[in-house]
A and B are shown apart, each in its own frame.
Chain A
Amino acid sequence: MTTRIDRRQFLMGTSALVAAGAAGVMPAWAQGADLRLIFWGGQARADRTYGVTDLYTAANGGAVEGEFLAWNDYWPKLATQTAGGNAPDIIQMDYRYIVEYAKRNAIAPLDEFVGGVLKLDDFDADQLEGGKVDGKLYGISLGANSVATLVNTTAFEEAGVEAPTNAWTYDDLMTMGEAFNSANIRGGMKAISDSSYNEPSLDNWLRQRGKALYTADGKLGFEEQDAVEWYQLWAKLREAGVCVSPDDQALDTGPLESTMLVQGKAALMPSNSNQLVGYQALVQDKLNMVGYPRIAAGVGGGHYRKPSMFFSVGGSSANKEAATNFVSYFVNDVEAGKILGVERGIPCSAAVRDAVSPTLDEANQIALNFVANLGDLLGPLPPPPPAAAGEVDLSLIRTLGQEVGFGAKTPEQAGKDLVTGAAEILSRA
């Protein structure tokens, strides 16, 4: 039995006891700007973004009032604003949540503006595709990136071990790890962090086997046997001391400073190409990046150029066209592109990319080259993950990985639990 009650009506009804006279005085700054923009990120991203909004206002007149928050704070706030009917006009959107927001009309399809205010003539086709949900364009990619293994080259030199290249495999990882253990540098630094519960690592490994985390219709894209082998692979690496111990790995709770790379406990760590700059700022050692390990020499196809983040237009925005115009300016204007650099990933417009690449510093140059030269590592773009992917990651992939690590479950048990648990979560959503 389901009875529909308009949410806003109800919420307001119960609060109607509030005297209307209580409206009170409002400071002048409470009056709305022409367009509201919200994004997550740190200081560096904010500086660049505000540079572009200023440029846009100077060129087009309309003001863009930007607000930025840390990732963890961003999502509750956006959800609250959306639920309260007060969502901003331009919303930075993540690959993980775009389906969730699009399916519920919290963000608007932009197809009607393509060719009009939204110019996508020299926009990368795969990046455009990545912003589509059910065939409709809901997000404009702000940059392409790829998963990448960060390499502490200084540590490799110290250990006298040859640093990996894009050709490296999981077998090489085993050898490297043993070499690292016998070198015993910096109080027992390990070769790699425990990536068994890093969702992109699992995804990449599955894709090399011709499978995927999720299928296009939002089902699980692998079998129990795959999951079991994955956990067995890491159990072996863990046993050999190639990766860090489970309790060390559990120190990594998300923030950059808690990761094994910054803590100096591992010389390799799976990450993203656009994060090299952030990590390099926190460590004294020299960092580089290579692809994720291959399952066997010559096998590729695990990587893809992922839209690092999107701009979407709020579903309830009163200025959808103006908002789209800003988004188009943001990704196409060459001057804007020079300000933005590759901080959000490699620009998707060819003209912007050409203008930007000569201006980059070393760390950014590495990232650009890496994504541009993936070669046979590159596979097809997967469909956007289903809405419940976040829950599968947090409730299953991370927890089960830790349970195997701490010995609470066998790889076989964990593989079984992953597949049955994920199926249940996906069917519920």
Chain B
Amino acid sequence: MTARSLESGAPARERAASPSLWARIWQNDAPGYLFLLPWLIGFFGLTIGPIISSLYLSFTDFDLLTDPNWVGASNYVRMFTNDPKFLASMRVTMVFVIFSVPLKLAFALAVAMLLNRGMRGLPLYRALFYLPSLLGASVAIAILWRQIFAREGLVNDFLSIFGIVGPSWISTPQYSLWTIIILAVWQFGSPMIIFLAGLRQIPQDMYEAASLDGASKWRQFVKITLPLLTPVVFFNAIIQTIEAFKSFTPAFIISGGTGNPINSTLFYTLYLYQEAFGFFRMGYASALAWVLLALVGLFTAFSFLTSKYWVHYDD
């Protein structure tokens, strides 16, 4: 996360070498802080308090209904020594992250590239492709997914053309997670729109020049589109990964909040939710949340550190 501050900053400081310290602070820092003011108010007023509270609660036995008692690190100790469900749910979430994020991003980028061409009826296609994302957490999704991935579902109807008799994908432990991964990929609308917005910012004259030089489509993609798109790729990768780690709703609606069959769709946050609101162990759930935060934080910090080698900014 520190990568940003390293590269720029020189010009503004030079200019302010003359007057007193306070004047210098005013000139250098004030505009930044003024623009940041709404966020700072929100951060200190609304956000940080509950965050610190949850950190505190992770060291208590808070049961939602009575006052919390301090229990030291025992929540964390239990998590790492005596909780098979912690490991199982972490594994489910990891598989989800590893497969859903790249697939979703690749799909979103491919469709965005396709939709960025001048073609008749494109606004319509764009809207259609965004439709699954509009449905959000609708009850209809659970019903629909069952219709597609149950034994008598559409997928098996299709497979039967080739003489394959498929199982009930959505409710068989080996496959159920995959139907949720497909659901996540199917709702690829948001990264697609962001990619589109990024593609629109690439100056067209660069393509024209390249095209006149006889560069192939693929070369243009590799030499122009991808480098200029890296800030957006970077953003989508970071955000989608964080979201995937925190993913809750798809598993909740598909499994009715149970994480079944046989905990095969027990996502980390679903387990956390069960602990907090199902079993009245908010203290333990808070500890689970902070372990997740540490994990995602490490991942993000690592991504930012490596980003200066591959993300191309204009500044």
Contacts and interface: CB of A to CB of B under 8 A. Distances in A.
A198 interface: no
Interface stretch (B63-71, B125-133, B286-294): B63-71
Interface stretch (A55-63, A243-251, A288-296): A243-251
Contacts of A254: 256-258
Interface in B45-92: 45-46, 48-50, 52-53, 56, 60, 62-72, 85
Contacts, number: 137
A255 B146 CA distance: 12
A8 B62 CA distance: 12
B143 interface: yes
Given A4-B67, A4-B69, A5-B67, A15 B279 contact: no
Interface string A123-161: 000000000000000000000000000000000000000
Nearest to A247: B168
A14 B67 contact: no
Given A83-B64, A251-B150, A18 B262 contact: no
B277 interface: yes
Nearest to B282: A83
B28 interface: no
A101 B70 contact: no
B172 interface: yes
Interface in A1-44: 1-8, 10-11, 14-19, 22
A178 interface: no
A402 B70 contact: no
Contacts of B69: 2-4
Interface string B153-175: 00000000000000110111100
A354 interface: no
Contact of A101 (B65, B176, B255, B282): B65
Contacts of B52: 14
A247 B151 contact: yes
Contacts of B236: none
A242 to B, nearest CB: 18
B274 interface: yes
Interface string B250-293: 00001111101111000000000010011110100000000000
Interface stretch (A71-79, A211-219, A222-230, A233-241): A71-79
A7 B172 CA distance: 43
Contacts of A105: 65-66
A18 B65 contact: no
A72 B257 contact: yes
A10 B256 contact: no
A398 interface: yes
Contact of A1 (B70, B254, B274): B70
A15 to B, nearest CB: 4
B278 A390 contact: yes
Contacts of A22: 45
Contacts of A247: 151, 167-168, 171-172, 261
Contacts of B282: 83
B137 to A, nearest CB: 12
B115 interface: no
A257 interface: yes
Given A11-B53, A17-B49, A251-B171, A104 B65 contact: yes
Contact of A5 (B70, B142, B255, B260): B70
A1 B61 CA distance: 12
B313 interface: no
A318 B168 CA distance: 53
B44 interface: yes
Contact of A251 (B85, B168, B262, B280): B168
A190 B268 CA distance: 35
A38 to B, nearest CB: 15
B65 to A, nearest CB: 4
Given A10-B56, A408-B262, A18 B45 contact: yes
Contacts of A390: 278-279
Nearest to B85: A395
A7 B56 CA distance: 11
A355 interface: no
Interface in A372-416: 387-388, 390-391, 394-395, 398-399, 402-403, 406, 408
A248 B171 contact: yes
Nearest to A406: B173
A267 interface: no
Contacts of B152: 187
A82 B68 contact: no
Nearest to A390: B278
B124 to A, nearest CB: 32
Contact of A7 (B50, B67, B168): B67
Nearest to B150: A251
Contacts of A395: 85
A83 B280 CA distance: 11
Contact of B277 (A4, A76, A253, A408): A76
A75 B258 contact: no
A250 B63 contact: no
B65 A79 contact: yes
A258 interface: yes
Nearest to A315: B65
6 contacts: A2-B70, A19-B45, A79-B65, A246-B261, A247-B151, A390-B279
Given A79-B64, A106-B65, A247-B171, 18 more contacts: A1-B70, A2-B69, A5-B70, A15-B53, A17-B48, A75-B277, A79-B65, A79-B277, A82-B64, A83-B64, A105-B65, A105-B66, A251-B150, A251-B168, A253-B255, A255-B142, A257-B143, A395-B85
Interface of A: 1-8, 10-11, 14-19, 22, 72, 75-76, 79-80, 82-83, 100-101, 104-106, 187, 245-251, 253-255, 257-258, 387-388, 390-391, 394-395, 398-399, 402-403, 406, 408
**Which 4 A/B pairs are nearest by Cβ-Cβ distance?**
A253-B256, A250-B171, A15-B49, A104-B65
